[in-house]
Structure 1
Amino acid sequence: MLPYESHIERLIREATERGEFDNLPGAGKPLNLGSPDDPDWWIKKKLRDEGLDTAGALPPVVSLRREAAGFPESLRELRSEASVRRVLADFNERVKADRLRPRDPRFPPLVAPLVDIEAMLERWQQLPR
């Protein structure tokens, strides 16, 4: 009598017979399971391996704080005072909206700063072009 073979076992056996598992990267080497202290090691590795930007995975307040830290240098390419004002006003509106968002009690309360548009405009005007 033949032993029972599940559907998955059959698929694996057939793929092995076709050689689909031959010459895989890391074949014959132990798995790199990352740090035992970091439960998210696998997603961090995937993001690195795929070259993905992690900014989308950040909480909005952290993204806003990062954006604020880049001012005025990130505004260098803007050519008019009006366009700089629009960008900074939009930023301040997003900060205000973020402040109305309910906070996750598991994390410390972070607040993104509002930008002083006039002061930032002066700094933008002093940037070398």
Structure 2
Amino acid sequence: MTERKPLGMPFESWIDRQIREAAERGEFDDLPGTGKPIPGAGRPQDDNWWIKNKLAEEGLSMPLPPSLALRKEADEVLELALKAGSEGEVRLLVQGINEKINKAIRRGAAGPPVDLFPFNVERVVERWRVSYPDGRPRTREEEDDQGAGVRRR
């Protein structure tokens, strides 16, 4: 614990002495980032700079408001459904996300308004059938043989 500031000594002198003595003892040696520029120096910081840096350091991302998270999930589920292994799997995926979309429409969700509508299951199944006319996904070798290495949407 640091000693108390002596009476009659100005704060600046006392603080400077504490820092100088700590530096002489080597307490500032081998700190992380020694000799490196301060990250973000010279750039304006927003109010959440610390939490954003911590999330990036931990490999996490800022959570989305529920309505935006649902929109992102709907896009991901549609992409998964179009790559599904069977028509039944396509239907299950689309019905699952439709339930979530309907629930959000009925109850509302925090964040921007929910501007999603449930997917038309039959249309998604039809898109899947067009991608897989024989009822099964093609292997990578089959796609390469047909020159279909381009990702479909």
- Class of the TM-score when normalised by the shorter of the 2 chains: 0.5 to 0.7
How far, CA to CA, are the matches of 1:110 and 1:102 in structure 2?
7
Q: Decide whether aligned partners of structure 1 residues 86 and 31 sit closer, same or farther in structure 2, where only a CA change above 3 A counts.
A: closer
CA contact (8 A) 1:64 1:95 kept: yes
Where in structure 1 are there 5+ consecutive unaligned residues? 6-16
TM-score under structure 1 length normalisation: 0.64
Superposition map of 1:37-56 within 5 A? 38-54=46-62
Q: Decide whether aligned partners of structure 1 residues 100 and 23 sit closer, same or farther in structure 2, where only a CA change above 3 A counts.
A: farther
Identity of aligned residues (%): 34
CA contact (8 A) 2:81 2:90 kept: yes
CA contact (8 A) 1:62 1:112 kept: no
Partner of 2:17: none
Partner of 1:23: 30
Partner of 1:9: none
Q: Which has the higher contact order (CA 8 A, sep 6+)?
A: 1
Runs of 4+ aligned structure 1 residues displaced above 6 Å come to none
CA contact (8 A) 1:73 1:127 kept: no
The amino acid across from 1:35 in the alignment is P
Max radius of gyration: which structure?
A: 2
CA contact (8 A) 2:101 2:118 kept: yes
Partner of 1:125: 129
The amino acid across from 1:23 in the alignment is D
CA contact (8 A) 2:108 2:114 kept: no
